[in-house]
């Protein structure tokens, strides 16, 4: 049987070229098309991203996955920023997730490109979720978690090692809805996509968080440091905790005075270069280093956010802004849509490190990542063009199961492999590249 093998090409894009030309501590604007028609939708606020924090980057398809909704709009919408075409694309006016807002409810499995969403609910007795598998057109339910739920809580994808987790990491949820101002405040649950089970479910992860309107919280993960930071929201706008891979937790220093964290208070995301966290609040940018007891540092000079980025909170100034950490290029994207018009997109480069340097200096090599010959025979040799020195290669099926560990080898004979879609991963300098492989 004959088969052919091809990779999705990573051609130079506006996003990658702009990021490569930036110095650490600088901002750049991306002039993406179709932003206002895609995101400036709704008759109340005129924007679908006004109650949001972060939206996930998809390293498989090279898009930003955006799910949100204006007040009184019929349903949550699904929009993507597509790197290849530098435009915003409507995926579904009705995403199949019911009604609500984006909040911090959207996370993505970086090993497969599968998109996860925590469904809007409050006081129902459980947390419910749906998943859209990569390459499919609809969301399907995954198991729920018993909980004293609130309407807006935090999620993230813990891609590194975590106590009891699997090789694809864990979908993590921080539920502030159980909080009443006691040592049991703060529930964290972790889901293993390979077993389709919630293997971790613990309370007391944010002790003495507070009581009352315990929502608008968030949760963000640093792959570089393999820790998560979570908290914030209505009753704890200055509070954050750090969770380590062994499940231990530690309260971080309070958010600096005059700033806040949580939905419509301040955006929080990880910086892919340093592994620290970035807070955009009250027109300022602050860095949280989660190491040790934690430290806050205000960003000054050229690092100050341009006015076009907007102010996501706190009151009295609230602009609809979302953020996305993009490890591929060592930058963070800030997408602003204050109303039906005037949308902007900026990227910020906080620092350079080995991974970011590789992203900048070897982009031409990565763009040429390919397999030869095409077409190839099942008994022939597939040759992967190397992406750089000391790279490690492996082939996975779409379920995340490794089917071939090539190590540093760039030749592979796919004997016994069925036709279908696979993912080739190249790891180099702390950076992971994913490419879709089609065998026919």
Which of 313, 228, 278, 362 has the alpha carbon at shortest distance from 25? 278
Peptide bond into 323 cis (omega under 30): no
Q: Which pLDDT does position 19 carry in this prediction?
A: 94
Higher pLDDT among residues 46 and 5, named by residue: 46
Asked whether residue 361 carries a pLDDT value surpassing 80, the answer given is no
Q: How does pLDDT run across 297-307, given as a tens digit for each residue?
A: 999 999 999 99
CA separation for the pair 106, 63 (Å, rounded): 14
2-6+362-439 CATH fold: Immunoglobulin-like (2.60.40)
pLDDT value of position 440: 64
φ, ψ for residue 317, nearest 5 deg = -105, 115
More confident residue, 385 or 152: 152
Percentage of residues in the chain having pLDDT higher than 70: 85
Structure tokens at 110: 């970086």
Q: Does residue 381 register a pLDDT over 70?
A: no
With vertex at residue 411, the alpha carbon angle to CA 62 and CA 134, rounded to the nearest 5 degrees, is: 25
Average pLDDT, the chain: 89
| 42, burial (CB in 10 Å: exposed 0-12, middle 13-18, buried 19+) | buried
- Name the architecture of domain 25-351: 6 Propeller (2.120)
Question: What distance in Å separates the CA atoms of residue 332 and residue 270, rounded to the nearest whole number?
Answer: 8
Residue pair 197/134 in contact (Cβ under 8 Å)? The answer is no
For the segment 85-95, the average pLDDT, to the nearest whole number, is 98
* Residue boundaries of the structural domains of the chain: 2-6+362-439, 25-351
**According to the model, what pLDDT value does residue 379 have?**
55
Q: What is the per-residue pLDDT across 20-74, written as a single tens digit (0 to 9) for each?
A: 999 999 999 999 999 999 999 999 999 999 999 999 999 999 999 999 999 999 9
Question: What would the pLDDT profile of 342-352 be if each residue is shown by its tens digit?
Answer: 999 999 999 98
Question: Measured in whole angstroms, how far is the alpha carbon of residue 45 from the centre of its chain?
Answer: 25
pLDDT tens for residues 259-294?
999 999 999 999 999 999 999 999 999 999 999 999
> How would you class 85 by CB atoms within 10 Å of its CB: exposed for 0-12, middle for 13-18, buried for 19 or more?
middle
User: Which residues make beta-bridge pairs with 104?
Assistant: 154
Please indicate, yes or no, whether the overall pTM of this predicted structure exceeds 0.85. Answer: no
Q: Which residues, 6+ apart, have CB-to-CB distance to 325 below 8 Å? A: 54, 57, 269, 270, 271, 272, 332
């Amino acid at each position: 049987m004959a088969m052919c093998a091809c990779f999705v090409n990573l051609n130079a894009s506006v996003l990658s070229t702009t990021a490569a030309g930036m110095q650490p501590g600088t901002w750049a604007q991306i002039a993406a098309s179709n932003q206002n028609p895609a995101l400036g939708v709704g008759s109340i606020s005129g924007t679908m991203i006004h109650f949001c924090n972060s939206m996930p980057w998809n390293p498989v398809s090279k898009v930003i996955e955006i799910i949100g909704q204006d007040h009184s709009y019929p349903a949550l919408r699904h929009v993507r920023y597509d790197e290849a075409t530098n435009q915003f694309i409507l995926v579904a006016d009705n995403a199949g997730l019911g009604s609500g807002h984006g909040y911090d409810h959207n996370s993505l499995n970086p090993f497969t490109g599968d998109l996860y969403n925590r469904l809007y609910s409050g006081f129902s007795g459980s947390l419910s979720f749906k998943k859209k598998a990569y390459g499919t057109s609809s969301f399907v339910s995954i198991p729920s978690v018993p909980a004293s739920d609130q309407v807006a809580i935090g999620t993230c994808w813990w891609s590194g090692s975590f106590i009891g987790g699997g090789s694809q990491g864990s979908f993590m949820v921080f539920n502030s809805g159980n909080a009443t101002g006691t040592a049991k405040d703060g529930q964290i649950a972790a889901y293993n996509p390979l077993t389709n089970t919630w293997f971790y479910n613990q309370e007391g992860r944010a002790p003495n968080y507070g009581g009352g309107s315990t929502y608008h919280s968030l949760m963000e993960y640093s792959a570089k440091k393999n820790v998560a930071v979570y908290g914030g929201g209505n009753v704890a706008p200055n509070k954050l905790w750090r969770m380590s891979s062994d499940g231990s937790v530690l309260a971080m220093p309070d958010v600096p005075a005059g700033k806040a964290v949580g939905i419509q208070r301040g955006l929080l995301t990880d910086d892919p270069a340093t592994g620290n966290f970035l807070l955009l609040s009250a027109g300022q940018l602050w860095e949280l280093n989660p190491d040790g007891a934690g430290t806050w540092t205000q960003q000054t000079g050229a690092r100050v956010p341009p006015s076009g980025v907007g102010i996501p909170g706190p009151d009295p100034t609230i602009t609809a802004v979302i953020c996305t950490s993009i490890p591929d290029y060592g930058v963070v994207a800030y997408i602003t849509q204050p109303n039906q018009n005037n949308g902007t997109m900026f990227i910020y480069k906080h620092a350079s490190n080995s991974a970011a340097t590789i992203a900048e200096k070897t982009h031409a090599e990565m763009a040429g990542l390919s397999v030869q010959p095409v077409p190839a025979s099942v008994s022939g040799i597939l040759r992967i063009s190397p992406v750089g020195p000391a790279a490690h290669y492996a082939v996975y099926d779409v379920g995340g199961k490794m089917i071939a560990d090539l190590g540093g080898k760039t030749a592979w004979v796919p004997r016994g492999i069925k036709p279908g879609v696979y993912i080739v991963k190249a790891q180099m300098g702390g950076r992971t590249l994913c490419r879709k492989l089609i065998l026919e």
